[in-house]
Amino acid sequence: MMATRIDGKDFAEQVSKEVAEGVKDLKASHGVTAGLAVVSVGEDPASQVYVRNKVKQAEACGMNSFHHVLEAETSRKSLLSLIESLNNDLLVHGILVQLPLPAHLDSRDVIQTIDPRKDVDGFHASNVGDLWTSGKPFVPCTPLGCLKLLKSVDPNITGKNAVVIGRSNIVGRPMAALLLNESATVAIAHSNTKDLPALCRQADILVAAVGRPEMIKADWIKPGAIVLDVGINRVETADGRGRLVGDVDFEDVSTVAGAITPVPGGIGPMTIACLLANTLEAAKRTVS
Ligand code: NAD
């Protein structure tokens, strides 16, 4: 039996449609148009593609979008002054500072200056704390997208063994917290983990957020497991164009897993859809 392919693109379109309806309703009921401000510093080409997509999709959902592009040499003081003005701007409900920032700016320090009520990326320490203490945080968009896709194939996570590979603040750690909040038994693996394949073979739910092309093979997988592949890696091809692959060897793992997300078309599209959902939620909280 081949694994079920979990289509993140379709699911993300559904989430975006629901957000668009929510935006319309909020406008009709309270005269509030949800607004997302995106701040990018410098011209990192990969980031620019992501930023353009975020702005475009926010507008497609009927939101206001405000895109601030600052020069790579922008000082900490200028950046923080922009963030302060966005914190105080009633038209802005969500603020996103595109990472990575240039080396002279400390992203952790910068993110702490965003009003947590507008921190739709869920990276502010206040939201991180709320996530781990079962509060009402804004949850980082990529893990939130993973959880939504996971629940679409298995609504009952309680008691399942989950292994998250990767311990970044953006994906691995918040993913582990989300799974724990759903009463899974969670292990977090990383570059120092011993015998990773053996650990993975215990997983009913495996989340890969590593950044190593097709590292995870069929013999790492418990038969029937759900595999969520967050990795996005560009590999060389004979025609020189390159192609995107995940951290999971999709063809190989599909022969053992119960369900699996592809790359591209899996977790990636869900990330932006969840950003829009968080922005709508931030706007709703201002009127409730
Ligand atoms: P990161 O580099 O911050 O973290 C990678 C993690 O993998 C680290 O915790 C490290 O300990 C672990 N690791 C590295 N080598 C390992 C190994 N051999 N065995 C076990 N663990 C190992 O990366 P990140 O920001 O968490 O991103 C991870 C991947 O997810 C990247 O490919 C990134 O492009 C992708 N990503 C995708 C989305 C999306 O929207 N789909 C969003 C964010 C990140």
Q: How do residues 171-205 score in pLDDT, each as one tens digit? A: 999 999 999 999 999 999 999 999 999 999 999 99
> Residues 57, 98, 160, 249: which is the catalytic one?
98
Neighbouring C-beta atoms of residue 102, cutoff 10 Å: 14
- Same fold for the pair 31-115 and 141-269: yes
Domain residue extents for the chain: 31-115, 141-269
What sign results for the dihedral spanned by CA atoms 55, 51, 172, 145? positive
**What is the CATH architecture assignment of 141-269?**
3-Layer(aba) Sandwich (3.40)
pLDDT at residue 166 is higher than 90? yes
Residue minimizing CA distance to atom 8 of ligand 1 = 166
Q: Give distance in angstroms: CA of 210 to centre of ligand 1.
A: 3
Q: What is the predicted pLDDT for the residue at 192?
A: 98
Q: How far apart are CA 275 and CA 61, in angstroms?
A: 12
pLDDT at residue 47 is higher than 90? no
Say whether 118 is catalytic: no
Say whether 121 is catalytic: yes
Tens digit of each residue's pLDDT (9 = 90 or more) over 59-115: 999 999 999 999 999 999 999 999 999 999 999 999 999 999 999 999 999 999 999
What sign results for the dihedral spanned by CA atoms 180, 182, 186, 190? negative
pLDDT at residue 1 is higher than 90? no
Q: Is 140 in the pocket of ligand 1 (CB under 6 A)?
A: no
> Residues 57, 118, 121, 204: which is the catalytic one?
121
Say whether 24 is catalytic: no
Q: What is the predicted pLDDT for the residue at 50?
A: 87
Domain 31-115, CATH: 3.40.50.10860
Centroid of chain to Cα 70: 24
Q: Give distance in angstroms: CA of 265 to centre of ligand 1.
A: 18
Residue minimizing CA distance to atom 39 of ligand 1 = 268
Q: Give distance in angstroms: CA of 78 to centre of ligand 1.
A: 31
- Which residue shows structure tokens 């309270």? 30
Exposure string for 160-185, b = 16+ CB within 10 A, e = fewer: bbbbbbbbbebbbbbbbbbbbbbebb
